[in-house]
Chain A
Amino acid sequence: QVQLQESGPGLVKPSGTLSLTCAVSGGSISSSNWWSWVRQPPGKGLEWIGEIYHSGSTNYNPSLKSRVTISVDKSKNQFSLKLSSVTAADTAVYYCAHLFSYYYYMDVWGKGTTVTVSS
């Protein structure tokens, strides 16, 4: 069973870049599936950020596309999220998730990591 663990700075300054990593264990990131990022602002709902395939193909939420980069590191079995020009509105719990390609559902989620944007 695949397990996911997010990591990264819990505090980012406004206008800076948020950088998170999701470590994949119990399976290979090179499996025929997608890997996603989802976020949840405090007290609010879920927002899909984007996804990546092990080949490097990506899809992003249009509302964030200009600021988001998702990449994969097969040698470390992990994938990463970078969100640039952050503001307080980017404060959220960030989750990584495994997206099973055939049914296109997110069946495994990390525990989430809280990122606060503040000076």
Chain B
Amino acid sequence: DIVMTQTPLSLSVTPGQPASISCKSSQSLLHSDGKTYLYWYLQKPGQSPQLLIYEVSSRFSGVPDRFSGSGSGTDFTLKISRVEAEDVGVYYCMQGIHLRFGQGTKLEIK
């Protein structure tokens, strides 16, 4: 089974400042079809998860461009260029080969 490990598990960010979350997988997420099945979801307080990023770096429809994803193989990063109050919640990376989530990273505003 592919294990996903996120760091940090929590972070507190001043509005307007950047934030970065790391996600490491225990095996490469590069599939034989050439795609890398790594996703990022945000679960805002009291809400269902929402898709932010798919296939490492593609922003889902309607996601602000302050969110960006990068990485390859086993190491991935979600970056928020300038954190806003509406970005609070728990961020999860997910691998799509066996559909497993990371532990989640809780983002709070300072």
Contact = CB atoms under 8 A, between A and B. Distances in A.
Main secondary structure of the interface of A (DSSP, over half): strand
B99 A48 contact: yes
Interface in A69-97: 95
B84 to A, nearest CB: 22
A105 B92 contact: no
B51 A48 contact: no
Contacts of B92: 45-46
A90 B18 CA distance: 37
B51 A45 contact: no
A45 B48 contact: no
Given A51-B99, A62-B1, A104-B96, A45 B104 contact: yes
Interface of A: 36, 38, 45-48, 51, 59, 61-62, 95, 103-107, 109-112
